[in-house]
């Protein structure tokens, strides 16, 4: 199944969020029945997603904890449906559990593992990824989804702290044999609204480390809280901030709204060609 792995993650890609959960923060992407998953996956493929990110565990602040077996059954349903609808689209699995990652790779072959904990919440995760030689998205977070919003103390320089964390983490992951790395600053994970904007304003510092950078800004509280709106109304804000992330060098936009992001990438490329 190596056909998918010629994707260039240094070129802008649109990653579609497919949550096989019933408690994600944005209800436009909760898909728990097979019909819902079919509809959602069909939509994002038609709209031009180049990566489909399947998750079975909601990592929103204060999310309900579920067992690894429940999570795997959800992920498996999602991946099965994605593969029924497309043999070629690149899939990623949004999980911090080594067991879920291992089973996904065993059953579905080459895919990307998207880990909100950068391997810190499941000690075997790094071995699984290294031995399978699959790309690995390492995200910056503190604590767990249940505790992270109490862990937002960074002193004056959150940008420096996040970059330093990644320098150490990348060195460690490389030493363990992880091949292809993607970095995710973890907007909204153990960060205040203001800290999220500090990170976004200096995102180029993370991009300068030489790895593809993924941003997950879509409809998050850093957009809807300052505007006094709900996640449902946060599409325009998402598009604005994603453009800024592209401008600073991010290459993977993880989004709920694929059509808008695909259009955005097209226009961004037009601008880059003449720039």
Catalytic residue (choose from 247, 254, 266, 269): 254
pLDDT of residue 7: 92
Q: Can 220 be counted among the known catalytic residues?
A: yes
For 115, residues 6+ apart whose C-beta sits below 8 A from its C-beta are 95, 96, 101, 125, 136, 137, 138, 139
Tell me how far the alpha carbon of residue 18 is from its chain's centroid.
11
CATH placement of domain 10-274: 3.20.20.20
Cα within 13 Å of Cα(191), Cβ side: 25
Catalytic residue (choose from 219, 220, 225, 247): 220
b/e sequence 224-245, b meaning 16+ C-beta within 10 Å: beeeeeebeebbebbbebbbeb
User: Global pTM?
Assistant: 0.94
List the one residue out of 253, 209, 257 whose CA is nearest residue 232. 257
Q: What angle do CA 123, 178, 146 make, to 5 degrees?
A: 40
> Which residue ranges make up each domain of the chain?
10-274
Q: Can 254 be counted among the known catalytic residues?
A: yes
For 63, residues 6+ apart whose C-beta sits below 8 A from its C-beta are 23, 57, 145, 146
| Spatial distance between the Cα atoms of 138 and 216, rounded to a whole number of angstroms | 13
**Beta-ladder partners of 18:** 54
| Spatial distance between the Cα atoms of 43 and 107, rounded to a whole number of angstroms | 24
Which tokens in the block code for residue 179?
């091949």
| Spatial distance between the Cα atoms of 137 and 93, rounded to a whole number of angstroms | 10
List the one residue out of 97, 35, 105, 41 whose CA is nearest residue 71. 97
pLDDT of residue 4: 56
Give, to the nearest 10 degrees, the angle between helix 125-132 and helix 98-108.
20
pLDDT of residue 6: 78
DSSP result, 85-108: H-SSSEEEEE-S-HHHHHHHHHHH
> What is the pLDDT tens value at each position of the chain, 275 positions in all?
444 567 999 999 999 999 998 754 445 545 578 999 999 999 999 999 999 999 999 877 667 788 999 999 999 999 999 999 999 999 999 999 999 999 999 999 999 999 999 999 998 999 999 999 999 999 999 888 778 888 888 877 999 999 999 999 999 999 999 999 999 999 999 899 999 999 999 999 999 999 999 999 999 999 999 999 999 999 999 999 999 999 999 999 999 999 999 999 999 999 999 97
């Amino acid at each position: 199944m190596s056909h998918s792995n010629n994707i260039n993650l240094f070129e802008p890609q649109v990653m579609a969020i497919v949550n096989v959960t019933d408690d994600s923060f944005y209800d436009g992407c909760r898909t728990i029945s097979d019909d819902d998953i079919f509809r959602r996956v069909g939509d994002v493929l038609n709209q031009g997603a180049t990566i489909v990110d399947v998750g079975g565990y909601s990592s929103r602040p204060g999310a309900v904890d579920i067992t690894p077996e429940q999570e795997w059954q959800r992920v498996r349903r999602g991946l099965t449906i994605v593969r029924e609808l497309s043999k070629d689209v690149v899939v990623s699995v949004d999980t911090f559990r080594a067991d879920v990652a291992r089973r996904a790779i065993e059953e579905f072959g080459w895919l990307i593992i998207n880990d909100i904990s950068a391997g810190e919440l499941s000690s075997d995760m790094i071995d699984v990824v290294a031995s399978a030689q699959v790309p690995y998205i390492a995200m910056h977070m503190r604590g767990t989804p249940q505790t992270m919003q109490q862990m937002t103390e960074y002193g004056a320089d959150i940008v420096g702290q996040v970059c330093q964390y990644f320098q150490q983490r990348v060195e460690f992951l490389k030493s363990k044999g992880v091949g292809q790395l993607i970095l995710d600053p973890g907007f909204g994970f153990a960060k205040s609204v203001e800290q999220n904007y500090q990170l976004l304003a200096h995102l180029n510092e993370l991009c300068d480390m030489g790895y593809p950078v993924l941003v997950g800004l879509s409809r998050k509280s850093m957009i809807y809280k300052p505007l006094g709106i709900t996640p449902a109304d946060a599409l325009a804000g998402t598009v604005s901030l994603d453009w800024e992330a592209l401008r600073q060098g991010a290459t993977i936009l993880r989004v709920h709204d694929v059509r808008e992001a695909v259009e955005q990438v097209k226009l961004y490329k037009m601008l880059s060609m003449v720039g």
